[in-house]
Structure 1
């Protein structure tokens, strides 16, 4: 560096690797603004999932959501890890980050067409804008940090090749569109492992990475609350307060609070190796996607309770239960892997997820609102049981 502390914006700094043991490393204001732009795209994806599920288009809804959310998550993840290693916070760095923000907004604008017409043109344009900016950042790191050049050049080359594949995929006919999507996803996921295998890995900061993932989880949970609140307001304006509406609102709030508590209970994640870090990072695709899908599910439940959805109550309940169960069964092994959280026993988590799924078949008995509220109670009970077991083990140790 040129001697100025990070946070003091200068025209130009030499890009050098950040110290992975740097004390008091926290997310920057630029990273937080970056996250807010990305959560706009998350909101669009969740909103389109809600509308497609409410219309009963379950298969296309899930496929479109998985594809769009991958583009959002992968671009966010790549910037987050690059910034952890090479954040110079100078003018070129900020401008390239701004370009990525513009790219995700373009992507967000294309989400409705991707869901409604299976047209990913605008989504790909936005994605490529973000990735071109990322390639430029990696090339800058390669030019200015010779010690890490082999790794950073691999990132730049791998990312560039895969982007050409995404562009070519726009002309893939019929079933080839699905085949090429899976191939390109596998290629994207392989680039970091290939690049980091050079023996000179990037100097990402474990504490900074764990904080970045936690903050994005909070932002996505906030989007869930906003979406559910909007749905409640719409129902209140149209039909007024009802028992079902009240129970869904309370159950949704308990679910969000329970998921937040589960994620942030216990010590910070210990990302001790590249393998552990990549597992943590990759699995968060399901963590983030399931959290956002909970919001879509709650809105579907509100639609079904007011007879505005073209699907039965048990299907609406499943729209809430499935993402909650996915969150539980994915996060529990991640907490064990990274020695974080407070998972007392894996069977407790599995049992909680199973009961949540079973409750989706009880609207005929409990009502849809009662089923959603019961899911919130089960998540709270799962958390309490795991905390009790973990505390008992800690006392014995």
Structure 2
């Protein structure tokens, strides 16, 4: 993960900007919030690619184009978490990364075609930004010093190879991209958190991930609203209203239970385990959480558009119901990673995955409003179960 820093004026025992205990309140800065705005555009571009009746190719392109910017967001988020640095140098680096990501977002509609080189060069630029943020951390005295070969391979070499991939013709450049991303993940996984000079700040990390979840939920709400622009009918209004209930239930359960559990588990872990949990849950598993919501955003928007039809196209239902199933499956993996017993997780995860998949199977005979209603009912049932389970645990503690 990236670690931005200013060069220390003298050899410190810990990096500058790393002061502040875990219990000290810490919130996202204005720069981080401004930086997130580029992902509003990114999410809109990606969601648009799943509108209509997407097939397996469209889903594959969506996941392939979403992972690199998400991966960069996770890197930069952890860097901001580990070091509180508001220097002009870091601001310029983050703004440069934002510009590179904007180029990638603009390239998304044709990234699997003529705009592929722009997408690759944009990502290469973000790796150079990471190098600029990592490099000062290599000058710290042991044990906080990061070996220089890590940023040189993880950032610089990756940037050069991504830039070189722009010259590789389609479709051969896509396996190259996949290989480069895999290499980055292997480097990170094999490091196992060694060289991280301080523990992650749990509150800040949970807040940052939660803000990204708000971004993707916001795209879902926006899709519901804009779809009614050209489908101003009673049926469209009903589907949009039920869709909003579905999103509200997801928001409620996520921020009352998922984020609370994350803060509790990561906050009580050892410094190294806290970093590994942040990497696995915030970096890897939340990719699937947020990708699932983006998919649902596209499915909901199409459901409003097609609300007058007898039934929704199968690709639309996969985007919507399949997205909800993937959302619950990702949270099940998060629960297991947090050490919850498999039997306890299965009680809510199995219905959360099976019910949406049953909706997919029966979608040919279900009206659009009924598809959305069944999914909203499942989300509400999930929320009520979580609230009841929390109440039972609270009674057990007080009793």
TM-score computed with the length of structure 1 as normaliser: 0.84
Per-residue deviation at 1:394? 3.3
Instruction: Provide the rounded CA distance (Å) in 1 between the counterparts of 2:181 and 2:26.
Output: 31
- Contact 1:12 1:92 (C-alpha < 8 Å) held by counterparts: no
Report the counterpart of residue 298 of structure 2 in structure 1: 296
Instruction: Provide the rounded CA distance (Å) in 2 between the counterparts of 1:303 and 1:386.
Output: 33
1:18–1:151 Cα change, 3 Å: farther
- Contact 1:349 1:382 (C-alpha < 8 Å) held by counterparts: no
- Contact 1:87 1:93 (C-alpha < 8 Å) held by counterparts: no
Q: Does 1:224 align with 2:220?
A: yes
Instruction: Provide the rounded CA distance (Å) in 2 between the counterparts of 1:363 and 1:198.
Output: 49
Report the counterpart of residue 288 of structure 2 in structure 1: 286
1:253–1:121 Cα change, 3 Å: same
Secondary structure of 1:235 counterpart? coil
Per-residue deviation at 1:220? 1.6
Q: Which runs of 4+ in 1 moved over 6 A?
A: none
Instruction: Provide the rounded CA distance (Å) in 1 between the counterparts of 2:152 and 2:134.
Output: 6
Report the counterpart of residue 181 of structure 2 in structure 1: 185
Per-residue deviation at 1:185? 1.9
CA deviations on 1:342-370 (whole Å, 9 max, x unpaired) are: x9642222212211221233345441111
1:62-81 equivalence runs, <5 A: 62-81=59-78
Instruction: Provide the rounded CA distance (Å) in 1 between the counterparts of 2:57 and 2:32.
Output: 33
Report the counterpart of residue 331 of structure 2 in structure 1: 331
TM-score computed with the length of structure 2 as normaliser: 0.84
Which has the larger displacement, 138-147 or 28-37? 138-147
Which has the larger displacement, 283-292 or 326-335? 326-335
1:12–1:138 Cα change, 3 Å: closer
Per-residue deviation at 1:221? 0.8
Q: Does 1:261 align with 2:252?
A: yes
Instruction: Provide the rounded CA distance (Å) in 1 between the counterparts of 2:142 and 2:149.
Output: 10
Instruction: Provide the rounded CA distance (Å) in 1 between the counterparts of 2:46 and 2:364.
Output: 30
Secondary structure of 2:306 counterpart? helix
Residue-pair matches, total:
373
Instruction: Provide the rounded CA distance (Å) in 2 between the counterparts of 1:283 and 1:118.
Output: 31
1:204-215 equivalence runs, <5 A: 204-215=200-211
Instruction: Quote the RMSD (CA, aligned, Å).
Output: 2.8
Per-residue deviation at 1:289? 1.0
Instruction: Provide the rounded CA distance (Å) in 2 between the counterparts of 1:262 and 1:16.
Output: 38
- Contact 1:283 1:330 (C-alpha < 8 Å) held by counterparts: yes
